[in-house]
Structure 1
Amino acid sequence: MVALGLSVTACEEQKSANGGAPAAPPPPEVLLTTIETKDIPVSYEYAGRVAGSREIEVRARVSGILMERTYTEGELVKQGDLLFLIDPAPYEAALAQAEAMLQQQQATLAQAEREWKRIASLFERNAVSARERDSALSTLELAKATVAGARAEVRTARINLDYTRVEAPISGVTSQEAVSEGSLVGTGQDSSLLTRISQLDPVYVNFAVPDAESLQLRNMQESGALTLPDDGRLKVDLRLSDGSPMADAGYVDFTDSTIDQNTGTIRNRAVVANPNRDLMPGQFVRVMVKGMVLRDAVTVPQAAVLQGPKGMMVYVVDGENVAKPQPIQIGRAIGDRWLVRDGLKNGDKVIVEGVIKVRPNQPVRSVEQKPGEQKQGEQKPDGQKQQAQAGNR
């Protein structure tokens, strides 16, 4: 009871010394950073899908029995390699018949030329009539036309015979055969698909950009806030499905001029080198488009941004060390920082640590963060920890 009475008496004496009110807490200590505008490289990430830069359907161009497949499915073939052989016997016979017909017509032409020379000589001596001369000339012209037709038939027969050898139109990787050996293949509307060839070096990576984001980038570029590389070519990095990166993989070579009505996006395409065939058609990848630079950009650490009643805000400290709430408009995240579209300017001092202790329009005890300075709460490297422990001892 005596101890309790002494304690109460001590508290009453302390209140009397302070004028009857408890002592005010000291201003909270906070860490500040000064806003500096600077040029910031930015990149944008999208989902993409790989496609062969050239994808060819190999079809039969003549009808017949498929006699042989000469390639290994799924392997690389070179342009001009033999892929399939269609039974050539009917086309060899057709070529021989066309050549025989040509020889016959050439003989007829030679006879018509001799007859024309004889008639023309007799006509000059008035030995034959003009009617006979005209008849010989008509026979000669008809023989010439017949020979030209026969030559065309020979050329067609030779082309059809060549088509019995189905060769690779491009270099690339073959798909599984669509028709087995021994099958009857056709032409025209029923032209038989034999296989497909995909050129895999380079490959295309197709991706889509939302139209709203595309419009924003275009407006920023027109205003000078965003600049492109000097050559206007945006480079791309890729991240594969297993997370492995492909740096400087390629560049954007096509942007569509229309918006897809179904998705509200604009189609884009990148050309990517693929010498080791790491990328396959149909594969999904992440596409990082880079090469753009934001001019005089303002960013703040994400830890400094709070959700206020009217949107995003930060605390700005004025010259009298009073923390005032400042509404801001944030853009995209750049690393561990937010891009600030509006609300902050060069030289503003923003609280980055100790925000939860701050009250609006109340004084704070500020410590400004210097470049390369270690933040509060971070652990020192092992060497510095050992030196500190040695000093304490």
Structure 2
Amino acid sequence: LVRDRAVSERDHTEAVADDAQARAEVASAKAELARAQLQLDYATVTAPISGRARRALVTEGALVGQDQATPLTTVEQLDPIYVNFSQPAADVDALRRAVKSGRATGIAQQDVAVTLLRADGTAYPLKGRLLFSDLAVDPTTDTVAMRALFPNPDRELLPGAYVRIALDTAIDRQAILVPRDALLRTADRTSVRVVGANDKVKDVEVVADRMSGRDWRITRGLSGGERVIVDDPAQFAPDTAVKPVEQALPAKAAPPAAASNPAARQT
């Protein structure tokens, strides 16, 4: 139109300026809309994990800082749930040396079964899996930090609770285990009552270093194959003649019996 002189040069210049101004206003409006959408998004707080929220830490109408983080609540992941625990560094070192010497067979981390024991001593029915074992020792506690993951579909396990953990990290095929009721303890010694070849009771001093389930692992005093009295051994004095009833212990249980052969089990 300018070429054809249908409009004046002035009108054309004003029209171009109005178009540029309108485009600028549209861009400004879009930027303002984006800022408003961002502020609206900030008004809705979403959790990065699934779980249950604890009590609100900020009430409606309370002043919160714009430039500083203000916790609103805490979201706890319940299913699955993480369990943090530690193992004495001496135990970790002893296990590694046992595996290296061939006395024990190591279990791959992904195959390690983790058992959780509640405060009352009962076992949680679902097994967990070991996620990691730290590579450094905490110098303040002389322990190695570990973490396990447990399924918790019924919300039985709650964050912050104190529990005990048992895990099988190696297999000692030469281990000798006796039921805890078979041990006789005094201030300076630990012993078991053994039925000899002549069916007479003998008192044998032993060294029991740790428990495996309801049994004690014997590291000294027994060589395997002995008949150990497990049913109220204190009532049988040494050199007493008895008629033992032998019963082999199952792999995962130790039912009462008059006498038993120590067996190798997983530790």
Same fold (TM over 0.5): yes
**3-state secondary structure, aligned to 1:222:** helix
The 3 A distance-change label for structure 1 pair 177 and 339 is closer
1:185 aligns with 2:68: no
Query: Which of the residues 176, 180, 183 maps onto 2:55?
Result: 176
The 3 A distance-change label for structure 1 pair 329 and 195 is closer
Q: Is the 8 A contact 1:304 1:355 kept in 2?
A: no
In structure 2, what is the equivalent of residue 86 of structure 1? none
5+ residue gaps in structure 1?
1-103, 111-142, 359-363, 377-393
State the AA in 2 paired with 1:330: A
1:246 aligns with 2:124: yes
Cα offsets for 1:84-116 (capped at 9, x unmatched): xxxxxxxxxxxxxxxxxxxx9982597xxxxxx
How far did 1:335 drift? 5.9
Q: Please state which structure has a larger fraction of its residues in helix.
A: 1
Bigger RCO (CA 8 Å, 6+ sep) = 1
Cα offsets for 1:227-256 (capped at 9, x unmatched): 344564322222334555322331121212
In structure 2, what is the equivalent of residue 293 of structure 1? 171
Mapping 1:88-107, distance limit 5 Å: 107=20
In structure 1, what is the equivalent of residue 114 of structure 2? 236
**Aligned equivalents of 2:183 and 2:160: distance in 1?**
41
1:220 aligns with 2:98: yes
In structure 2, what is the equivalent of residue 166 of structure 1? 45
Q: Please state which structure has a larger fraction of its residues in strand.
A: 1
**Aligned equivalents of 2:215 and 2:122: distance in 1?**
25
What RMSD over aligned residues (CA atoms) do the two structures have, in Å? Answer: 4.4
In structure 2, what is the equivalent of residue 49 of structure 1? none
Larger Rg: 1
1:201 aligns with 2:79: yes
Q: Is the 8 A contact 1:316 1:325 kept in 2?
A: yes
The 3 A distance-change label for structure 1 pair 252 and 266 is same
**Aligned equivalents of 2:19 and 2:64: distance in 1?**
36
In structure 2, what is the equivalent of residue 332 of structure 1? 210
**TM-score w.r.t. structure 2 length?**
0.64
**Aligned equivalents of 1:278 and 1:351: distance in 2?**
39
State the AA in 2 paired with 1:202: P
**3-state secondary structure, aligned to 1:185:** coil
**3-state secondary structure, aligned to 1:161:** helix
How many residues are paired up? Answer: 231
**Aligned equivalents of 1:272 and 1:248: distance in 2?**
7
In structure 1, what is the equivalent of residue 153 of structure 2? 275
**3-state secondary structure, aligned to 2:115:** strand
Q: Is the 8 A contact 1:233 1:253 kept in 2?
A: no
Cα offsets for 1:47-87 (capped at 9, x unmatched): xxxxxxxxxxxxxxxxxxxxxxxxxxxxxxxxxxxxxxxxx
5+ residue gaps in structure 2?
1-16, 249-255, 260-267
Q: Is the 8 A contact 2:196 2:202 kept in 1?
A: yes
**Aligned equivalents of 2:193 and 2:121: distance in 1?**
38
Q: Percent identity?
A: 33
**Aligned equivalents of 1:193 and 1:211: distance in 2?**
37
Cα offsets for 1:252-277 (capped at 9, x unmatched): 21212222222222211111111222
The 3 A distance-change label for structure 1 pair 286 and 164 is same
**Aligned equivalents of 1:106 and 1:236: distance in 2?**
72
Q: Is the 8 A contact 2:110 2:130 kept in 1?
A: no
**Aligned equivalents of 2:123 and 2:64: distance in 1?**
45
In structure 1, what is the equivalent of residue 237 of structure 2? 356
**Aligned equivalents of 1:161 and 1:304: distance in 2?**
70
**TM-score w.r.t. structure 1 length?**
0.46
Cα offsets for 1:144-185 (capped at 9, x unmatched): xxx999976654443233212333443221122222212232
State the AA in 1 paired with 2:167: V
**Aligned equivalents of 1:244 and 1:319: distance in 2?**
39
1:341 aligns with 2:219: yes
The 3 A distance-change label for structure 1 pair 237 and 166 is same
